[in-house]
Amino acid sequence: MYELVIANKNYSSWSLRPWVLMRALDIPFTERLIPFPGGNSRSTYLPFSPSGRVPALREGEVTVWDSLAIVEYLAERHVGVWPEDGIARAWARSACAEMHSSFTTLRVICTMNCGIRVDLAERPPQLTADIDRLGALWNEGLARFGGPFLAGVEFTAVDAFFAPVVFRCQTYGLTLGGEADRYVSRMLARPALVQWYEAALAETFREEGHEDEARRAGRWTADLRATA
């Protein structure tokens, strides 16, 4: 049985990726959620992950860290992680790698915080550029492979990789244009995302670093999270 080590569902975008993929594909695992301790969290996660970061997937003697490595590990063991069609698979892998290495401004300004709604204070050109690129990428995948998911009819790793961005669209009211906006609505209704979201809203622990980042982003118009 796999054990997936993750952090707070409200904040941890990297944890969400393998979690939502495994849920969507019905891959059984036990979840070990270790909330961000505040300050330097590396020592908290080091017993579970050599990088001191989560997510980490553990199976017997094997530990796999980093969301992309986890996805590839799962792809060697389960069907459906990547699209069956070779062209869609190449596109999906490229889009995942782009998400992994780019969209820095989006990640920094619009940190994942599932349970709040924010009016962005400003939209610097680099944020607009990231949002435009996102819209172009999603609209390309949806048009080329026919939807309803980014690389075709099935939910695959590329949808899991962009699931944190779907929550960011909801939190910060980002619109991407065209079919991409309908994709956001479809994704938010998927059972695996609904499960994650409900658990995120139910969390009562807060971590000041993440809260500060979200305060810097703009004016909060709602905080839907449970209070202790």
Ligand X SMILES: N[C@@H](CCC(=O)N[C@@H](CS)C(=O)NCC(=O)O)C(=O)O
Residues in touch with ligand X (CB under 6 A) = 7, 12-15, 41-42, 45, 52-55, 66-68
Which CB atom, from 17 or from 186, has the smaller least distance to ligand X?
17
Q: How far apart are CA 39 and CA 41, in angstroms?
A: 6
Which CB atom, from 33 or from 136, has the smaller least distance to ligand X?
33
Strand, coil or helix: 32: strand
Q: How far is the CB of 45 from ligand X (least distance, A)?
A: 6
- In terms of phi and psi (left: phi > 0; alpha: psi -120 to 50; beta: otherwise), the region of 177 is left
Which CB atom, from 10 or from 139, has the smaller least distance to ligand X?
10
Q: How far is the CB of 8 from ligand X (least distance, A)?
A: 8
Which CB atom, from 12 or from 156, has the smaller least distance to ligand X?
12
Q: Which of 175, 191, 173 shows the shortest CA–CA distance to 183?
A: 175
Q: On the CB side of 135, how many CA atoms lie within 13 Å of its CA?
A: 14
Q: How far apart are CA 123 and CA 127, in angstroms?
A: 6
Which CB atom, from 181 or from 213, has the smaller least distance to ligand X?
213
Q: How far is the CB of 86 from ligand X (least distance, A)?
A: 25
Within 10 angstroms of residue 177's Cβ, the number of other Cβ atoms is 12
Q: Check if the beta carbon of residue 39 is closer than 8 Å to that of residue 46.
A: no
Residue nearest to ligand X (CB): 53
Q: How far is the CB of 5 from ligand X (least distance, A)?
A: 10
